[in-house]
Amino acid sequence: MFQNIFSSLIDGILLVSRDLTIQKSNPAVEEMFRRSKDLFEGRPVTELFPIQPDIQNKIERVLDSGISYRDLECEGFQKSTATPFPVSLTLSPYLDQSGHIQGAILQVKDMSLLKELQDYSRTLDNLSQMESLTLGMAHEIRNPLGGIRASAQLLRQELENPEQTEYLDVVISEVDRINRLIERMMNFTRPRELNIQEINIHKVLKDITLLEQEAVTQRNIRLEQVYDPSLPLIQADEDQLKQVFFNLIKNAIEASSDRGKIQLITRVSTGYSIKASPTANPGQSIVVEIVDSGMGIGESDMKNLFTPLFTTKSKGSGLGLPISLKIVENHGGKIKITSEAGLGTTAQVFLPVQQR
């Protein structure tokens, strides 16, 4: 039974002997560091935390004096990808039956997802300070814009030279673009009440794919839908969630090349990621994944994704993701984006089944 518990834990466990080599590892820690068992056992534990000499000191103190440490923030190192990732470590002495210290037990929690989600939320916090300013400005800009548009239209009717009317068409369409942008910003900043109902997320996705069908067929994009039929209904605002999936699927289409593939996947969340968040809902949640095989996102752009007005597109407004995040957070959910430049992007939307 102990063996089963050891293998079933979602936190990583390492048993370290007195000479600081790893004696045992469980599957969770193997997954976290992306190495197989053989590459753990017998290896020095410091290999896993190369940039943190104080971890070695702390393990030595556990071995010498039997003290323990809880929730040490530290960086693990994935050798295969050569990338550090945040972990939380708890160190305890491993005692034999007569109470002698035989080694140390390291409990390793992967904090990557939690860290990322906190960073996103921080971007949103900065945002609220901007909100009142934005709203005020938006009003001020819209009024003169209305005047510019109306005058351009009148002038256009007067003109006969087609080349000149073309210039005015540009004025009018650009004014319209600014107007749309402002409208979206105002919708974004204006707090909107959630109209919560029991909804079927598959129906929401079906409506959105219908809406995007034309763009998809035109560009020969393969849209695969892998839905979990046992997915529960969720309590949410259908219209607002439609906006979220519209934005995410639109991004996936825009990133895809012609004949690319987009997958929509639904499943029940195993819950770890949401449980790990202090603000989250401990109840059950579902995940919707939008997986594209498009151009991907460069590393430097990753941290700006949820910053309002950040866009790499000539016609983008850079509001799709921040608006979507705000809606999902209002529902007590989370959005996580992972991407590899050149290979594609995955957007995961976690939504609690029940609102409280």
Ligand X SMILES: Nc1ncnc2c1ncn2[C@@H]1O[C@H](COP(=O)(O)OP(=O)(O)OP(=O)(O)O)[C@@H](O)[C@H]1O
Which position has the token pair 């901007």?
A: 130
Q: Nearest approach, Cβ of 254 to Mg ion (angstroms)?
A: 7
* Cβ-based nearer residue to Mg ion, 240 or 251: 251
DSSP code at position 231: P
Region binding Mg ion by CB under 5 A among candidate stretches 24-32, 43-51, 294-302, 320-328: 320-328
Do strands 261-268 and 222-226 pair parallel, antiparallel, or not at all (unpaired)? Answer: parallel
Query: Does residue 76 bind Mg ion (CB under 5 A)?
Result: no
* Cβ-based nearer residue to ligand X, 52 or 324: 324
Q: Which of 14, 15, 249, 255 binds ligand X (CB under 6 A)?
A: 255
Q: Nearest approach, Cβ of 335 to Mg ion (angstroms)?
A: 13
Q: Which of 321, 327, 349, 353 binds ligand X (CB under 6 A)?
A: 321
Q: Which of 32, 295, 349, 351 binds ligand X (CB under 6 A)?
A: 295
Size of the site for Mg ion (CB under 5 A): 2
Query: Does residue 320 bind Mg ion (CB under 5 A)?
Result: yes
Query: Does residue 328 bind ligand X (CB under 6 A)?
Result: no
The residue type found at 20 is L
Q: Which does 333 bind (CB under 5 to 8 A by kind): ligand X, Mg ion, none?
A: none
Euclidean distance between CA atoms 309 and 115, whole angstroms: 23
Query: Does residue 251 bind Mg ion (CB under 5 A)?
Result: yes
Q: Which of 29, 305, 327, 349 binds ligand X (CB under 6 A)?
A: 305
25 forms bridges with which residues in the sheet? 14
Query: Does residue 342 bind ligand X (CB under 6 A)?
Result: no
Start-to-end CA distance of the chain, whole Å, equals: 37
Query: Does residue 322 bind Mg ion (CB under 5 A)?
Result: no
Q: Which does 11 bind (CB under 5 to 8 A by kind): Mg ion, ligand X, none?
A: none
Residue 314, Cβ density class (10 Å: 0-12 exposed, 13-18 middle, ≥19 buried):
exposed
Query: Does residue 273 bind Mg ion (CB under 5 A)?
Result: no
Q: Which does 345 bind (CB under 5 to 8 A by kind): ligand X, Mg ion, none?
A: ligand X
Using alpha carbons, select from 228, 253, 239 the residue that is nearest to residue 347: 253
The residue type found at 33 is F
Q: Nearest approach, Cβ of 112 to ligand X (angstroms)?
A: 20
User: Coil, helix or strand for 311?
Assistant: coil
Helix (H) or strand (E) segment spanning residue 340: strand 334-340
Euclidean distance between CA atoms 47 and 106, whole angstroms: 14
292 forms bridges with which residues in the sheet? 262, 345
One-character DSSP codes across 158-170: H---HHHHHHHHH
Euclidean distance between CA atoms 168 and 156, whole angstroms: 6
Euclidean distance between CA atoms 14 and 94, whole angstroms: 11
Query: Does residue 316 bind ligand X (CB under 6 A)?
Result: yes
Query: Does residue 111 bind ligand X (CB under 6 A)?
Result: no
* Cβ-based nearer residue to ligand X, 168 or 335: 335
Q: Which of 345, 348, 351, 353 binds ligand X (CB under 6 A)?
A: 345
User: Coil, helix or strand for 171?
Assistant: helix
Residues that bind ligand X (CB under 6 A): 247, 251-252, 255, 292, 294-297, 301, 305, 310-313, 316-321, 345
Residues that bind Mg ion (CB under 5 A): 251, 320
